[in-house]
Amino acid sequence: MASEGIRLGLIGAGKNTRDRHIPGFQKVDGLEIAAVANRSRGSSQAVADQFNISGVYDNWQELLEDPSIDAICIGTWPYMHRTLVLASLEAGKHVLCEARMATTAAEAQEMLDASRERPDLVTQIVPSPLTFKIDRLLQGKIAEGYIGDIIGVNVQSLGNTFMNQGGEMHWRNDRDLSGFNILNMGIWYEAMIRWVGRATKVSAMTSINVNKRKDEDGQMVDISIPDHVNVIAELANGAQANMQFSAVTGLSSGNGVWIYGSEGTLHVDGAQNVYGGKRGDDKLAEIPNPEENRAIWRVEEEFCNAIRGTEKITRTPFEVGLHYMEFTEAVTRSAQTGQTVALPL
Amino acid sequence: MENGIIRVGLIGAGANTRLRHIPGLREQEGVEIVAVANRSRASGEAIASEYEIPTVYDNWLDLMEADDIDAICVGTWPNMHNTLVLAALENNKHVLTEARMAMNAQEAQEMLDASRQFPHLITQIVPAPQTLQVDQTVQDLIASGELGRLLALRLRVCDYHGRADRSDTFMNTEGPLHWRQNRLLSGYNIMGMGIWYEAIMRYVGPATKVMAMTHVFTNQRKDDDGIMRGVTIPDHVNVLCEFAAGVQADLSWSTITGMQTGSELWIFGSEGTIRLEGPPFDKVWIGKPGDTEFKEHPIADDKRGKWDVEKDFINSIRGTKPVTHTPFDVGVQYMEFTEAVTRSAQSGQTVYLPL
C-alpha cells in the first residue's frame, strides 16, 4: 500500500471529525475519504454531501465489510470505541480512534491486546491537544535539570462559570455514553504524563452538583458523572500531585499547572505562557517558547505516515491511552470506596 | 483572685509568649504576671528580669503549687500541653494554652474531659489568628445566602514556619531540626494545618471525611547536638475532604514549593465565590454570576476582628463573656482532623470524622 493511495472510512462524523479530521485528511496526499457511516443514513448523507464523500453506508458493519477501505477513523462517543476498534482490526483495517479511548480500563486493555495481535495494522488514539504548544518546552526544561528533582505537581482545570441547574444533557454527562470519563480529566492526565510521568497511587473525591439534566426527549434525567473532582496522586518519580477539575467553580482562576522541583519551579498559566524560576531568583520570569519548538495538530498526517511506514505513532499510542483510562477508572473507584487505588490496575 | 487582681503564672516563655501574651496580659486592668517557669531556672530568670516578673520557679510543678496564682499561661511546645493543662485544672487554676492544642486527638479529648470537671475554671486555646480580620464578614456573607449553596472549597498554603530563611522558598535541607519538624515535640501536628482547619471551620463547619497523601522530602536534619535525625513530619501535604455542610475541599500545605509565595482560600457556592489571599488576610473578594472579576467586599470596622486573646481570657475569668477563640471543644475538632490526615496518609483509607 505504501505506493498506493489510502482509502479511509469514517464511522461517526461528529464535530471533531468534521472540524479536524476531515480537513486534516484532505491535506494528506494520496488519501481519499471514501465512505462514511454516521448514526443514520440521513446524517451520513449530509456529511457526504458537505465533504464530497462518495460512499455512504447504512451502518458501520457494512462500511467495515467494504474490502476497498484500508483505514477507519472512529468519531463516535466513547461507548462505541471498543466495539469499533476491535471490529476494524478484525476486518484488517488501520484505525484512528477519537479520545477518550474507551469507557473503562478493561475496554482499553482489550483494545491494546487486540492491537498487539495485528502488528501489521496501525492503531492510534486522537491525542490530548491541550498542551501541544508547551509540551516540548516543559519536557526540555525538566530533562535539562532546570528544576532538579520533581517534588510536587498541581494541575487545575476549572471552569469559571457558576453552577447551572437544569441544563441540557450532553454526552459527556451521560454515564452510558462516557463510562468512567469525567470532564476533561483524561486528556489533562495524558498531558501531565508527557512532562512528569505516570501516577502510582490515586485518591479522589468527587461530587455531583448539577444532578439532573434534560435529555433529547425533554425528560429530566439523573446524572451520575461528577462535575467537581479533586484528585491527589503519588507519581512514579516520587513527586506528589494534586489535580482539580470542575464545572461549578464560578470565577475560578481557570486552567493552570505548577511543577515544583528541588531547585526550580515551572508554571503554566491559562493562556499557556510558561514561567520559570530557580533557587536564588527573585520571581518567576516568562520562558520564551519559540514557534519551532511548539508541536502542532498533525494527527491525520501522523496516522497516514504510520500506515506508510515512515513514522511511528507517538500521539497517541494505545499503551498511553490505557494509562489514562486506568487513571480515570482509579479516580472513580477511589471516590466510590474511599480507598487509595494503586496503579497500574 | 485577691482584690479583683488576676495573678498569672507563665509556664514556658517562648517567642509567642514574649511577643504576644506578656504584652497582651499587661494591657488588661487588674492583671499581674507574678511568676514564670521556663525550661531552666536560668532561662526563667532571664525572662523574669527582662519583663520584671517577681518570682522564678525551678520548674512548672513548683509554680503550679503556688497559692498566689489564679491562672496559667502555657507557652510550651505541644508535647507538654496535655500534662500542664490537666495539672493546672487540678490545682484550681484557669488555663490559657498555646496552639496546637495537643499532640493528638486523644490528648485533646482528655483535656476537654478534664475541663468539664472544672466548670468554674476557664480553659482556652490560643486561636488561629491569620483570618481574624475577615472572619465575621465571611461568616455574614455565607449566612445571608450570598454564595447560595456551598459547593467547594480550596486552600493552598505555602507554609514557611520553621524555615531558617523565609525568603528562600525552595526545599531547605540545611536548616536545623525545628520543634515543628520534631515528632516527639509536635505529635501529629503538621505545619500550619491545624490553625487553617480551625479558620475554615468558622466558615463551613467541621469535615466528615478526610483523605490525605503526605511526603517528607527533607527527611534528615541536625538537632541541637549536631546529630542527624530522621524527620517524620511531612513537608508536603495534600488533603481532600468533605464537610458536613456538603462542601468538598482540596487543601494543601507545603514548605517546599519554591517561588510560590502566599496562600489562598476559595469558597465556591452556587451563587457566588469568595476569595481570600494573604498574608495578610485583610480583604474579602467576592464574585457573583455575571461578574467578570472579583470585587472587594467592604469590611465594617466593628466586624474587623483582631488579636484579643489575653483580653478574652481575662474577661472570661471575670465572667463577662464566654470563650469563643478558642474553646477546647473546637480544639478537639482540629486535633481530630490533624490526626485523621496522618492516619489516612498512613493507611490509604478515608478517615471519617469525628473519630
Domain boundaries along the sequence of chain B? 6-126+308-326, 135-305
- Minimal CA separation from B168 to chain A, in Å: 7
Flag whether A331 is in a domain: yes
CA-based nearest residue in chain A for residue B292: A251
Q: Which residues of B touch A339 (CB under 8 A)?
A: 348-350
- Minimal CA separation from B286 to chain A, in Å: 9
User: Are the Cβ atoms of A251 and B294 closer than 8 angstroms?
Assistant: yes
Beta strands at B248-254 and B150-158: parallel, antiparallel or unpaired: parallel
Q: How much is the mean pLDDT over chain B? A: 95
SS3 state at A265: strand
Question: Prior bond to A316 cis, omega within 30?
Answer: yes
Who among B248, B258, B291 is closest to A260 (CB)? B258
- Minimal CA separation from B292 to chain A, in Å: 7
Residue B2 pLDDT grade (very low, low, confident, very high; cuts 50, 70, 90) = confident
pLDDT tens for each residue of A195-223: 999 999 999 999 999 999 999 899 999 99
Count how many domains chain A has.
2
- Minimal CA separation from B218 to chain A, in Å: 10
Contact status of B165 with chain A (Cβ, < 8 Å): no
Q: What is the CATH number of the domain that holds A241?
A: 3.30.360.10
Rounded-to-integer distance, Cα B89 and Cα B117, Å:
9
pLDDT tens for each residue of A1-45: 444 799 999 999 989 999 999 999 999 999 999 999 999 999 999
In this structure, the answer to whether residues A11 and A77 fall within a common structural domain is yes
In this structure, the answer to whether residues A109 and A227 fall within a common structural domain is no
ipTM: 0.92
- Note whether B121 and B95 are within 8 A (CB): yes
Residue B164 pLDDT grade (very low, low, confident, very high; cuts 50, 70, 90) = very low
CA-based nearest residue in chain A for residue B293: A251
Name the strand (E) or helix (H) holding B265: strand B263-269
Phi, then psi, of A98 in degrees rounded to 5: -60, 155
In this structure, the answer to whether residues A173 and A283 fall within a common structural domain is yes
Rounded-to-integer distance, Cα B223 and Cα B220, Å:
10
pLDDT tens for each residue of B182-219: 999 999 999 999 999 999 999 999 999 999 999 999 99
Who among A230, A234, A251 is closest to B240 (CB)? A230
Helix ranges (DSSP H) in A149-273: 175-178, 185-196
Flag whether A320 is in a domain: no
Contact status of A272 with chain B (Cβ, < 8 Å): no
Nearest-5° Cα angle at A179, A176 to A180: 150
CA-based nearest residue in chain A for residue B173: A262
Contact status of B58 with chain A (Cβ, < 8 Å): no
Residues β-bridged to residue A74: A11, A97
Contact status of B172 with chain A (Cβ, < 8 Å): no
The C-alpha torsion from B87 through B92 and B94 to B100, rounded to 10°, is 20
In this structure, the answer to whether residues A291 and A301 fall within a common structural domain is no
**pLDDT of amino acid A229:** 98
- Note whether A276 and A266 are within 8 A (CB): yes
Flag whether A95 is in a domain: yes
Take residue B70 and report the three cell numbers written for it: 489564679
Indicate the length of chain B as a whole number.
355
Q: Kindly report the pTM of this predicted structure.
A: 0.94
User: Are the Cβ atoms of A244 and B168 closer than 8 angstroms?
Assistant: no
Q: Is the pLDDT assigned to residue B45 strictly greater than 60?
A: yes
SS3 state at A184: coil
CA A58 to chain centre: 28
Contact status of B353 with chain A (Cβ, < 8 Å): no
**pLDDT of amino acid B166:** 52
Who among B217, B240, B288 is closest to A232 (CB)? B240
SS3 state at B350: coil
Take residue B66 and report the three cell numbers written for it: 503556688
Long-range own/partner contacts, residues A61-65 (CB < 8 A, 24 or more apart): A61/A87, A62/A37, A63/A9, A63/A11, A63/A35, A63/A36, A63/A37, A64/A9, A64/A11, A64/A88, A64/A91, A64/A93, A65/A91
Q: Which residues of A touch B343 (CB under 8 A)?
A: none
Domain that residue A242 falls in: 132-295+325-342
CA A162 to chain centre: 25
Mutate to test the interface with B, among A160, A201, A232, A341 (most CBs of B within 10 A): A232
In this structure, the answer to whether residues A280 and A301 fall within a common structural domain is no
| Dihedral over Cα of A197, A201, A205, A210: its sign | positive
In this structure, the answer to whether residues A44 and A115 fall within a common structural domain is yes
Rounded-to-integer distance, Cα A181 and Cα A327, Å:
10
Mean pLDDT of A142-148: 97
CATH superfamily of B135-305: Dihydrodipicolinate Reductase; domain 2 (3.30.360.10)
Who among A161, A248, A277 is closest to B151 (CB)? A248
- Minimal CA separation from B128 to chain A, in Å: 26
In this structure, the answer to whether residues A230 and A338 fall within a common structural domain is yes
User: Are the Cβ atoms of A205 and B209 closer than 8 angstroms?
Assistant: yes
Take residue B236 and report the three cell numbers written for it: 508536603
- Note whether A213 and A220 are within 8 A (CB): yes
SS3 state at A131: coil
User: Are the Cβ atoms of A230 and B250 closer than 8 angstroms?
Assistant: yes
What letter does residue A180 receive in the DSSP assignment?
Answer: T
CA-based nearest residue in chain B for residue A204: B240
CATH 3.40.50.720 fits B6-126+308-326, yes or no: yes
Cell 486555646 maps to which residue?
B125
Q: Is the pLDDT assigned to residue A282 strictly greater than 90?
A: no
User: Are the Cβ atoms of B259 and A265 closer than 8 angstroms?
Assistant: yes
Who among A232, A263, A281 is closest to B213 (CB)? A232
Who among A228, A234, A281 is closest to B213 (CB)? A234
- Note whether A103 and A328 are within 8 A (CB): no
Residue A296 class from Cβ within 10 Å (0-12 exposed, 13-18 middle, 19+ buried)? exposed
Q: Which residues of B touch A274 (CB under 8 A)?
A: none
**pLDDT of amino acid B229:** 93
In this structure, the answer to whether residues A174 and A288 fall within a common structural domain is yes
User: Are the Cβ atoms of A249 and B273 closer than 8 angstroms?
Assistant: yes
Residue B246 class from Cβ within 10 Å (0-12 exposed, 13-18 middle, 19+ buried)? middle
Residue B109 class from Cβ within 10 Å (0-12 exposed, 13-18 middle, 19+ buried)? buried
- Minimal CA separation from B212 to chain A, in Å: 8
In this structure, the answer to whether residues A73 and A39 fall within a common structural domain is yes
Name the strand (E) or helix (H) holding B120: none
Residue B167 pLDDT grade (very low, low, confident, very high; cuts 50, 70, 90) = low
In this structure, the answer to whether residues A30 and A43 fall within a common structural domain is yes
Cα–Cα distances in angstroms (integers) from residue A30 to residues A3, A34, A226, A302, B199, in the given order = 9, 12, 44, 14, 65
Rounded-to-integer distance, Cα B342 and Cα B351, Å:
10
Find the largest Cα–Cα distance for chain A. Answer: 66
Rounded-to-integer distance, Cα B47 and Cα B13, Å:
7
**pLDDT of amino acid A225:** 96
Q: How far apart are the first and last CA of chain B?
A: 38
Cα–Cα distances in angstroms (integers) from residue B54 to residues A217, B69, B116, B199, B352, in the given order = 84, 12, 32, 37, 49
- Note whether B152 and B245 are within 8 A (CB): no
pLDDT tens for each residue of B55-103: 999 999 999 999 999 999 999 999 999 999 999 999 999 999 999 999 9
- Note whether B175 and B224 are within 8 A (CB): no
Contact status of B215 with chain A (Cβ, < 8 Å): yes
Mutate to test the interface with A, among B150, B151, B295 (most CBs of A within 10 A): B151
CA-based nearest residue in chain A for residue B257: A260
Who among B152, B259, B349 is closest to A249 (CB)? B152
Who among A206, A248, A258 is closest to B268 (CB)? A248
In this structure, the answer to whether residues A108 and A36 fall within a common structural domain is yes
pLDDT tens for each residue of B293-331: 999 999 999 999 999 999 999 999 999 999 999 999 999
CA-based nearest residue in chain A for residue B150: A209
In this structure, the answer to whether residues A212 and A225 fall within a common structural domain is yes
User: Are the Cβ atoms of B348 and A250 closer than 8 angstroms?
Assistant: no
**pLDDT of amino acid B161:** 56
Contact status of A260 with chain B (Cβ, < 8 Å): yes
Flag whether A70 is in a domain: yes
Q: Which residues of B touch A211 (CB under 8 A)?
A: none
- Minimal CA separation from A216 to chain B, in Å: 25
Who among A260, A283, A334 is closest to B256 (CB)? A260
Cα–Cα distances in angstroms (integers) from residue B85 to residues A39, B58, B78, B318, B327, in the given order = 73, 18, 11, 20, 13
Q: What is the CATH number of the domain that holds A62?
A: 3.40.50.720
SS3 state at B108: helix
Take residue B16 and report the three cell numbers written for it: 509567642
Residue B172 pLDDT grade (very low, low, confident, very high; cuts 50, 70, 90) = confident
pLDDT tens for each residue of B217-264: 999 999 999 999 999 999 999 999 999 999 999 999 998 888 887 899
Contact status of B321 with chain A (Cβ, < 8 Å): no
Contact status of B266 with chain A (Cβ, < 8 Å): yes
Flag whether A77 is in a domain: yes
Strand runs labelled E in B41-196: 55-56, 71-74, 94-97, 123-125, 150-158
Contact status of A130 with chain B (Cβ, < 8 Å): no
Q: Which residues of A touch B235 (CB under 8 A)?
A: none
